[in-house]
Amino acid sequence: AQKITQTQPGMFVQEKEAVTLDCTYDTSDPSYGLFWYKQPSSGEMIFLIYQGSYDQQNATEGRYSLNFQKARKSANLVISASQLGDSAMYFCAMRPFNNTNAGKSTFGDGTTLTVKP
């Protein structure tokens, strides 16, 4: 069984500053993928970034980067140069590689990020 823990129910950040959203996970699977999704107030879940457990380098996608520390089982999302439009709920999710159902992932409880002007 897998478990995702997001310990920050809510976070605040000043516009243009960087923010880190925490995610730790627990799994007995040797290989897995980690995902971050953004959910604005409109409700739709938007895929942001992916990290594979065997990837040597931390993933980056524009202003998003993933601080992956495999030994600590953490996959924190870093948003640089925050914008007002980044205000949303963020979910960390995990799926073992042997699970071919891409949507059948384990999700954390989410972190609500508020960007202050």
Partner 1 sequence: DVKVTQSSRYLVKRTGEKVFLECVQDMDHENMFWYRQDPGLGLRLIYFSYDVKMKEKGDIPEGYSVSREKKERFSLILESASTNQTSMYLCASSPLRVSANTEAFFGQGTRLTVV
CA distances from 65 to 2, 3, 27, 50, 107 (A): 23, 22, 22, 9, 19
- Using CB under 8 A as the binding rule, whether residue 108 contacts partner 1 is answered as yes
Residues 43-62 that bind partner 1 (CB under 8 A): 43-47, 50, 52
Q: Which is nearer to partner 1, 31 or 60 (CB)?
A: 31
Q: How far is CA 59 from CA 51, 56, 66, 91, in A?
A: 6, 9, 5, 16
Pair of tokens at residue 61: 């996608």
Q: From the list 28, 85, 101, 117, which residue makes contact with partner 1 (rule: CB under 8 A)?
A: 101
97 forms part of the interface with partner 1 (CB under 8 A): yes
Residue 33 touches partner 1, criterion: CB under 8 A: yes
